[in-house]
Amino acid sequence: MTAVGIALGLLGLVCGLAGFSYAAARLIEAIAPPQGGFLDVDGQRLHVFDKGSGPPVVLIHGLSGQMGNFLHSLAARLSDDFRVLAFDRPGSGYSTRAPGAPAGLRAQAATLANAMRRLKLDKPVVVGHSLGGAVALALALDHPDCAGALALIAPLTRPVRKPPLVFQALAISSPLVRRLGAWTVATPGGLLFRNLSAREVFAPEAPPADFGVAGGGLLSLRPRNLEEASADVVAINDDLEPMTARYSEIGVPVGVLYGRGDRLLDPLAQGASLKRGLPSLDLEIVDGGHMLPVTQPVLCAAFIRRIAAKAGAASARR
């Protein structure tokens, strides 16, 4: 085969994979459509779910997730007593990230803070899961007017040397390679191995059979979301490292809920160690894995209510 033939064959393969990825993304969107409305903030279009009345509770999801991680089981258990708002982080789910916008924790926190101000949320309880916990911490540090308390579930609080195995393929520093991979092999590979990946993320608990659609799990396999999740992975430690020295500045109640069987983040390194900077931290370690908002929504709802009560008591004393 000539060099020209090889080149044409490779071009055809790339075009075929890109076409498959595009078609798969459209199919996923058809079976897992947006669950909220949209808000334009800082040149980015944020997907936001807003339901209920009462004190506001803001839900921020983790890496490669979106609001469905909360809406699957948890949000309905809070909306009778709280105004529950769940955001897709910039670049995740149905939210966009402006071209050239940074993917760092503090940049995401700034965009969410501006959205919360637009929505006139008064000192909400901010619930952050996994990477969303790091964004919630950045929010409390940089935008204290936007956080009345932090309820962190399996949060990332300190830098990790490398991502968990299930996310290591996302650690691509080159934007060009990141985009090429997202639009060729990432979506077909993600679909092929999605059950294996879900079992790893949920372990030692089992993922619900309907998580791909009802929990939005399939949305993370679209090319754009894979590309943006890769940008998140690369940017995480840039902000997280300096943030750890500032945790003592946080002046609102903070609670952490961790599953002792979590296989993605270490409950001691990420949860218990936070007490060094926040001695008043409310720390609870329970049986379970990383995806507690999905697998143990009753427990998570009780945890959030407890932190909300602390926030109310702290506000009354001021």
- 130: helix, strand or coil: coil
Locate tokens 């308390």: which residue? 149
Please, are residues 81 and 9 in contact by the beta-carbon 8 Å criterion? no
Q: Put the strands of the sheet holding 149-153 in their side by side order.
A: 37-41, 44-51, 83-87, 56-60, 125-129, 149-153, 254-259, 282-286
Q: What is the DSSP letter of 89?
A: P
- Considering Cα of 307, then 220, then 290, then 142, what sign does the dihedral take? negative
Structure tokens at 68: 């469905």
The pLDDT score that the predictor gives to residue 3 is 72
Domains annotated for the chain, with CATH where assigned, are 3-317 (3.40.50.1820)
What phi, psi does 163 have (nearest 5°)? -65, 160
Give me the average pLDDT of each 10-residue run along the chain (318 residues).
65 80 95 96 94 96 97 95 97 93 95 97 96 98 96 96 91 94 93 93 96 95 96 95 94 96 95 86 95 98 96 62
Residue 85's nearest CA partner among 115, 106, 108 is 115
| Entry pTM | 0.95
Q: How many residues does the chain have?
A: 318
Q: Which residues contact 58 (CB under 8 A, 6 or more apart)?
A: 85, 86, 87, 112, 116, 121, 124, 125, 126, 127
Locate tokens 């909220």: which residue? 36
Tell me which amino acid residue 162 is: K
CA atoms within 13 A on the CB side of 85: 29
Q: For residues 148 and 315, what is the distance between their CA atoms, to the nearest angstrom?
A: 8
Per-residue pLDDT tens over the stretch 146-171: 999 999 999 999 999 889 999 999 99
CA 310 to chain centre: 24
The pLDDT score that the predictor gives to residue 220 is 96
Q: For residues 289 and 67, what is the distance between their CA atoms, to the nearest angstrom?
A: 19
Per-residue pLDDT tens over the stretch 219-264: 999 999 999 999 999 999 999 999 999 999 999 999 999 999 999 9
The pLDDT score that the predictor gives to residue 315 is 58
The pLDDT score that the predictor gives to residue 100 is 85
The pLDDT score that the predictor gives to residue 272 is 86
Cα separations in angstroms, 22 against 47, 91, 232, 315 = 21, 17, 22, 49
The pLDDT score that the predictor gives to residue 170 is 94
The pLDDT score that the predictor gives to residue 314 is 59
Q: For residues 66 and 70, what is the distance between their CA atoms, to the nearest angstrom?
A: 8
Q: For residues 180 and 14, what is the distance between their CA atoms, to the nearest angstrom?
A: 9
Structure tokens at 37: 């409305």
Q: For residues 45 and 163, what is the distance between their CA atoms, to the nearest angstrom?
A: 28
Run of H or E including 10: helix 3-31
Parallel, antiparallel, or unpaired for β 125-129 and 254-259?
Answer: unpaired
